[in-house]
Amino acid sequence: MNKVVVAYFWTVKKTNLPFALFSMARDRGRLRRSAGVNFAKMLGTGTGENFTPSDADLTRWGALVVIDESALDSIDSLAVVRSWNKRAEHEVRLVLDPISAHGFWSGKNPFDWSVTPAADSQIVAITRARIKWLQNFRFWKAVPPVSADLHQSPGLIAAIGIGEAPIGLQGTFSLWENGKVLRDFAYKGQAHQRAIEATAQYNWYAEELFSRFAVRNVRGKL
């Protein structure tokens, strides 16, 4: 059966923080059990500048869902999505098709199919990792230069940090004008190259996944 990836990001008022924290715990299982859903993660967000708890944005939360293509038209009707949309001041929804994915997320590659993107397609890159506990401080020290290069990269539309937990389960979600500008950042950026070399040297990930997606549709502004 054909599948598609959908990412949501919701901005809520600070007064709705209790709702957000409760829903993050409640909705993990509820979303996975929803009709047509193959894989789902509830996500906190941040600036991605250092991936420590001080980086967190307590007003923006998200969800990433792999769903059957046949269920796409009804995804906004899922109980979890309706609950967040009811409280959100702003919603962003991106419909994505995987181009490539290497690695694992919770023991599997949830993006195990691929499409060939149009030359002018906007691209989303998702990186995520489970960081070995003893490597957290070394990882945090390496992140700021890469984040600075990322946010200054030509062709970047938006980038945020994402995480399943305040510490140890972190990643980035970035939106790019096209595949070329993303490749330029990945393979030509000096800070990013140094981080790749450090990753090989210190082996600081217990699990990692690097993935790219063609953007089919965007609703709202990331």
Write the CB contacts of 15 (distance below 8 Å, at least 6 apart in sequence).
Answer: none
Burial 37-72 (b: 16+ CB within 10 A, else e): bebbbbbbbbebbbbbeebbeebbbbbbbbbeeebb
Give the start-end residues of each E strand in the chain: 3-11, 37-46, 56-68, 90-103, 123-131, 156-163, 169-176, 205-219
Write the CB contacts of 22 (distance below 8 Å, at least 6 apart in sequence).
Answer: none
pLDDT for 131 equals: 77
In CATH, the architecture of 3-219 is 2-Layer Sandwich (3.30)
Other C-beta atoms closer than 10 Å to the C-beta of 28 total 16
- pLDDT tens, residue by residue, 123-172: 999 989 887 766 566 666 666 666 666 777 889 999 998 988 765 567 88
How many contiguous H segments (helices) and E segments (strands) does the chain have?
Answer: 5, 8
Instruction: Find the helix packing angle between 17-32 and 79-87, rounded to 10°.
Output: 160
Residue 132 DSSP SS3:
coil
Tokens representing residue 185 in the block: 């950042």
pLDDT in tens, the chain (222 residues): 699 999 999 999 999 999 999 999 999 999 999 999 999 999 999 876 655 566 789 999 999 999 999 999 999 999 999 999 999 999 999 999 999 999 999 999 999 999 999 888 999 999 898 877 665 666 666 666 666 667 778 899 999 989 887 655 678 899 999 999 988 887 765 655 665 655 656 566 778 899 999 999 999 999
Q: What is the pTM of this model?
A: 0.89
